[in-house]
Amino acid sequence: MKTFVLGGGCFWCLDAVYQKTRGVSSVVSGYTGGHLPDPDYYEVCSGTTGHAEVVAVTFDEASVPEEVILDMFFALHDPTTLNRQGYDVGTQYRSSMFYTTTEEKILFEEAIERAQALWSNPIVTEVTRLGHFYDAEDIHQNYYAKFPNQGYCQVIINPKLAKARKYYSAWLIA
């Protein structure tokens, strides 16, 4: 099993897609990359903690290749906008990848190179060594499954799920 920690804006969006990805055994929403110990959602949303909203995606490499997990990441958010994803603005929504080994850092950099061919603007995704990972509150875990009819889920997450189904249907659970 392998775990990648990825930030692509609001963690609810990445969580929703990776929860439906074959070979993924766990998706944990959380915070990392900042200076405040044990932050909560409201502190992170204030933009003053330095933390990003992220997901820790644990998957079986024998079931889903690392490249698929990473390529999906770049398909699910706009990695060319600095500290912004749609209406979500601030450093907590930055495009980010947090590595634990040199091998992971190289994989992340290679994924950025692959993704750059798909974007006309330069990718600004931050690649940083993983510090402490703080689990988000229970309400944020598997958010889409709990609240599929909530407005944010309908307007923001559903189109991302549709895009994932369009390009990655072979890797998604029905």
18 DSSP β-pair partners: none
Residues known to be catalytic? 10
Distance CA 52, CA 45 (A): 9
Distance CA 105, CA 86 (A): 27
Residue 159, SS3 per DSSP: helix
SS3 content of the chain, % helix, strand, coil (to 5): 40, 25, 35
Determine how many CB atoms are found less than 10 A away from the CB of residue 43.
Answer: 16
Inter-CA distances, 164 with 18, 35, 72, 73, Å: 10, 33, 7, 10
Amino acid, res. 37: P
